Structure 1
Amino acid sequence: MLVAGEIPREADAERLLALRKEAVANEHGEGVPRDYARAAKLYCDGARLGDPEAQFSLGWMYANGRGIERDDARAAYFFSLAAKQGHAPSQRMQRFVGEPGSAVPECMRAVVFVDESPDVMLPSSEAQKKVLGLVNQLAPEYGVSPRLALAVIRAESNFNPMALSNKNAQGLMQLIPDTSARFNVKKPFDPEQNLRGGLAYLRWLLAYFEGDVSLVAAAYNAGEGAVNRYRGVPPYAETRGYVQRIMSLFKRDDHPYDARVTTPSPELQRIRLTKGS
C-alpha cells in the first residue's frame, strides 16, 4: 500500500490514472455532469495513494476555490506533498499559498471504526490488526488504557506507521524528533519503537496532569508547556478539535496514573480552579 507522498509503483499506475481521469471528467464536466465535490474526493483518493498530479490538482482546487471553499493552508498541504516528489508546478505554487496547515485532511485518512466496548478497535486491514495487537500487548506495560492509545493513534495517523506530517511528526503516534529523543526512540517508523515512545509520553503526561484526559490530549497535541501557559486547553482551533476527538473516542474524563513517574504540573491546581469556576 502507498502512503501520502510516496512515489507510485508501476503496479499502481493504471489505478491512479483511472482515478485521475474520472476526477478530471467530474471537475470539467467532460462526458458527465460537473461535480466538484466528487472531483475533490477522487483527487484526494489519488493523493492518498501518492499521485503527485492528483495532489497538485486538489491543491489547485483549494487555492482557487474551484467548486469548493478556498483554503490556502489546505492547498499548501497538497502542493507540499507533490513538491516533495519533484513536481515542478507544485513547487512554483507553494510561494503563493503560504505554509501548509498542520492538520491532515480527513479524506487523507483511511476509514477505521471504534467499537463501543472499552478497549476494542475494529481495524480495516491486516496491517491495522497488527497495530491493534501491539497496542493491546504494550499499553498495559506503560499503565495506559489500550483504548486511549488507540484513540491517539487514530487521531494522529489512522494506523499508518509511515505517516509523516508537514511538521515532521513521524509514525503511528506522530512523534516529533524532540519527543523521539526524549523517550529514546531511534527508529520512529518502526511500529513497536514508535508505540513505546508514544506510550511512554502518555504515561508521563497522565502523571503530570494527574489523569485528566482532556489536559493529556491537549498536551499531546500542543505540548505541556502550552497547557501550562494557558492554564488549560490552549485556544487553538486544531487543539480544541483534537481534544474533542480524543474525548469522544476514549469516552472517559479521567485515567489512572502512576504518581511516581513525575511530579504534577505546577499549574495543575490553578487549572482545576479555572475549570471549576
Structure 2
Amino acid sequence: MSITDVTARISQIQAQLALLPRAGGASATFTDALSRTTAAYAPGDPAGAPGPAGSVTGDQVVTRALELVGLPYVWGGTDPERGVDCSGLVKSVYSTFGIDLPRLSADQARAGTPVASLDQALPGDLIAWDNSGRNVGADHIAIYIGNGMMIEAPRPGGEVQVVPVTTPPDYVRRILADPAPFATTPATAPTAATAPGAAPAGTPYADLFQRAGSTRGVDPALLAAVARHESGFDPRAVSPAGAQGLMQLMPATARGLGVADPFDPAQAVDGAARLIGDLLTRFGSVELALAAYNAGPGAVMRYDGVPPYPETRAYVQSVMTSWQGAA
C-alpha cells in the first residue's frame, strides 16, 4: 500500500471520530465537531495536563507524522530533516503543534491521559510497549493512526514506516483532549435532501428509512440509496476495513453516534441519518455530504470539494444516480 493510499484510507475511515465543541465554547453539530478532519482538541503540557483549548486535531497529528515516512531511524534523533528514533518521532510531530512532550518513550507513555484499550484509541493517540526488563516503563512508542495501523520509527537501520499494530500495546495515552459529547442541529432550511419524501416502493427496510428520515430531516430515499451502495441492504455486511452493518459504520463512528450495535438495522439507519443530516447542514450540498460520509469531512474541507479519490468520486456518482432515479 502506498503512502497516498494510506493517507486516503485514513481520511476515509478515521476522519469521523473526534467530537468536540467549537473553539470558544459554542456548541457544535456532530460534523462541526468532526473536523479532523474536524474537532478541536486541547493540547497537554509536558506533564500531561490539558492546556488551553486549541485547534489541533488527531488528523493533523497523523498527517504530519505521515510526512515523515521514509525518514531514517537515528538513535537519539529528533530532527525531522535528518532522522529520528521512536520517541524522537513522537516529540518532533507533536512539537509542530506547540505541544512539548518529554524526550524519552517511558516519559511520553506517562503523558496525557490513559485510554483503556486499543479499540478505544483515536488517531493521534500514543501507543507504547515495555519490551525490556532492563528499564522501567515503555521502551518503544508509536503514533496510532486508526484502523489498527500505526506510524513508528522501528529500529537502527530502519526508517519511519506505517505498519499494523500486531501486538497489544502496554500503554495507550491521549495527548489531545477527550472528545466531548456532540449535539445535533437540524438543517435550518429545507433542501431536496431534507424535504419530506419516501423510500422507493419495495425497498428493504423502507419503514426504517422513513422513520429515521422523518426524525433526522433527511430524505428517506437518500438514506436508502446510501444503504444500497454501502451494503446492498445486507445488515450483516462487514467491509475489509471493518465497517459494519447496513450503513457500513466504522465501530468508533458508531460509538460516537450512539449506535450500540451497528448490525441492528434500526440503530444503523438512525445513526447514519443523524450523520448525513449533520453533513448536509455543514456542507449545504448532497454531493459534498456524500463525499464526507465516504472520505471524511476533513478530506472535503482539505480539497474544498469532492476529494480526488477515485473511490469517493465513484461513490458520490453512484449514490446520486440511485437517489435521483428514485425521485
Higher share in helix? 1
Settle same-fold status: TM greater than 0.5.
Answer: no
Higher share in strand? 2
Task: Tell me which interval the TM-score lies in, with the shorter structure as reference length.
Answer: 0.3 to 0.5
TM-score computed with the length of structure 2 as normaliser: 0.38
Greater relative contact order, per chain length (Cα 8 Å cut-off, separation 6+): 2
